[in-house]
Structures are given as C-alpha cells and as structure tokens.
Amino acid sequence: MNLNELQLQSYGLTNFNVEQLLKNAYSQNYTYLIKTPIDQYKVIVEAEDKQRSEPTDVNRLYFKPPGAQTTIPNQTVTDPQASVGRLSVNHINQFPAVTLYFNLKPGVSTGEATAFIERTAAQTLPSTIRGRLQGEAQTFSETFSQLGVLLFVAVFIMYVILGILYESWFHPITVLSSLPVAAVGGLLTLLVFHSELSLYSYIGMFMLIGIVKKNGIMMVDFAVEQRRAGKTPAEAVHEASVERFRPIIMTTLAALMGAIPIAVGFGADGASRQPLGLILVGGLVVSQLITLYVTPALYLYMESLQEKLNHLYGKLEQWRKIKKQELVHQV
C-alpha cells in the first residue's frame, strides 16, 4: 500500500494512523477484558469476516481525523496495490532477518562450508547487512573457538598438579614435553590422509594427551624415586628407561590396537569417527619413537638446571647469613 504523504497531512493524518487502522481491522487486536461474577470476556477489535475476505475490502476502511466530524475513505489518502510479498518477517535481535539453509556435499566438512560462506558474504554483501551462523553451524563455530582455550587450560592444570606431585617447577615440563611431539604427529597424520579437523579430532587430541602424559609420568616418577634413593641423575633415568620400557610399550600398543579400527573407519558411521582414530594412531606412533629418547635427555637437562639453581640459592642464603652476622657484630 502506497501512502500519499501530502494527502495524509492535508487531512491531519500520519503514518501511525494508517498503521493503527490496519492493525485494528485485521490483526485481531485484544483491547479490553470484561469480567463478570462467573466468567470473563476478551474484547477484540477487528473487521467482520465478510468485510475482509477480499483484497479490495481494504477500501471499506475509513479514517476519522481527531476533532473532525466526517470520515475519510482509505483510498483517498492511500493507493492499495496487489503485489507479491512475505507472509511474515522474521526478526533476530529486533532486526529483520532471513535464514538461508545449506547442505554439505560429500567430502566437504562443516568448517570448510562455513568458511566459504563467511568469505563469500564479506565479498558480496553490503556493509549494512550483517550475518551470523545459526543451528549446527553456529554450534560448530562456537565449539571450535573454545576448544583451543580448553586445551591450553587442560595442559596448565596438568602442569600445576604435576608440580605439586613432584614438588618441582622443572619435572612437570619433562613429563609434558612429549605433548607437542604427539600433537604434531596427530595433525600430520590428518594432513597426510586428507582428513578434516572435526570435533572428533579434538576428542582424539585430548585422549592422546592423556595417554602420552601417562607414559611420561611412569618414567619420570620412577626416576624421581631413584634420585631420592641416592642415585645420580644419569643412573636414575637409565634405570627408569629400562624398568618402564615394557609398561610404556604395552600401554601404547593397547591404545593403538583400539584406535586402528576407528582410524580405518570400521563400523556403522565409521567415517565420521575416522579423524579420532587417525590422530590417535599418528600421535602415538610419532611420540613413542621420539619421546623414548627425548624424555630421558630432557630429564637430565632439567635435573642439572634444578641443581644449578639450588646451588645458586644455597649461595644466596649463605651470603645473606654472612651479611646478617656482620650487621649484628657492627651493632
């Protein structure tokens, strides 16, 4: 319906009067509640059914300007025209919104699809139009944006707990040193097999961290006990490597045997869980081949660094005591 602004103003009407008239005529507007001792009735203002069954019935409406004694036909100040339009206008945060749906082609991940949509929207849509993901795509985007922070927090909590366990700032680093190697191995496996980094991949990353960390704990914990028994760092870590080799290998092989069917995609809907198995298999293999050599060497380095710092701290304490005694003698 096109409005004639000059005609409206000449009759003392505004756009609000037109909107209010249409609202009262067609929207079943609830205006009042009549209460009786036994019941209550809602007063609804609307046009009769026979007066709003056809599009041309809009010309039956009349305006009555404030203070005027006459009524004005609707077609005098408006120009009703039939056109194709939406039955309803959806809103998000009080803004008109249009929802576009999409399905994924075979072999395309949700991350690739959402990245393509956001890139294309930024290139084609004007700056006055804003868009955001909804439904499964929104859940996927929010989950991935938080998983990196969650992974960092998990590693930090493990460092704090191990620091309390060993009463050391350095040996937790020795245990956690195998985590970057395992993560790189898992991600490289995904890259080699052209698999996407999905939610299952992140679950596999957390599982991989737990398994690899446990292998480091078995070796370092045994070496710390040997150090407390009076052995040198080299003797302690050598004995730990020999004694804990079989448990570490058995744990890794058991995890591999459980992850290989998942990596192959065996079972119902196995393709969706395949990234989990790939990241476990690749991370375990790479970390096992490297950390068996890196962890003992890093333990020796951290032990040497800790001894140097303890020695330096002892000298500082000795110097502090000497200075304290000198001050006492001077007094």
**pLDDT number for residue 3:** 55
Q: 71 with 145, same domain?
A: no
Q: 165 with 258, same domain?
A: yes
| SS3 readout for 10-56 | HCCCCHHHHHHHHHHHHCCEEEEEEECCCCEEEEEECCCHHHCCCHH
Lookup: tokens for 10: 């000449």
- The rounded mean pLDDT for the chain is 79
User: 141: pLDDT confidence band, cut at 50, 70 and 90?
Assistant: low
Residues 270-281: tens digit of each pLDDT: 777 788 888 888
pLDDT at 1 over 80: no
**pLDDT number for residue 331:** 57
What residues make up the domain containing 78? 2-82
pLDDT at 44 over 80: yes
Single-letter amino acid, residue 9: Q
Q: 34 with 161, same domain?
A: no
Q: What is the CATH number of the domain that holds 42?
A: 3.30.2090.10
Q: 97 with 166, same domain?
A: no
pLDDT at 295 over 60: yes
Summarize the confidence of residues 172-184 as an average pLDDT: 82
Q: 145 with 261, same domain?
A: yes
Angle between helices 245-264 and 233-243 (to 10 degrees): 50
Summarize the confidence of residues 190-203 as an average pLDDT: 79
From the list 35, 1, 41, 7, the residue with the least C-alpha distance to 21 is: 1
**Residue 184, SS3 per DSSP:** helix
Last residue of a domain, one of 132, 151, 167: 132
Q: What is the CATH number of the domain that holds 193?
A: 1.20.1640.10
How many structural domains are present in the chain? 3
Summarize the confidence of residues 97-119 as an average pLDDT: 77
Q: 55 with 194, same domain?
A: no
Q: 219 with 321, same domain?
A: yes
Q: 160 with 185, same domain?
A: yes
Q: 120 with 63, same domain?
A: no
pLDDT at 318 over 80: no
**pLDDT number for residue 151:** 78
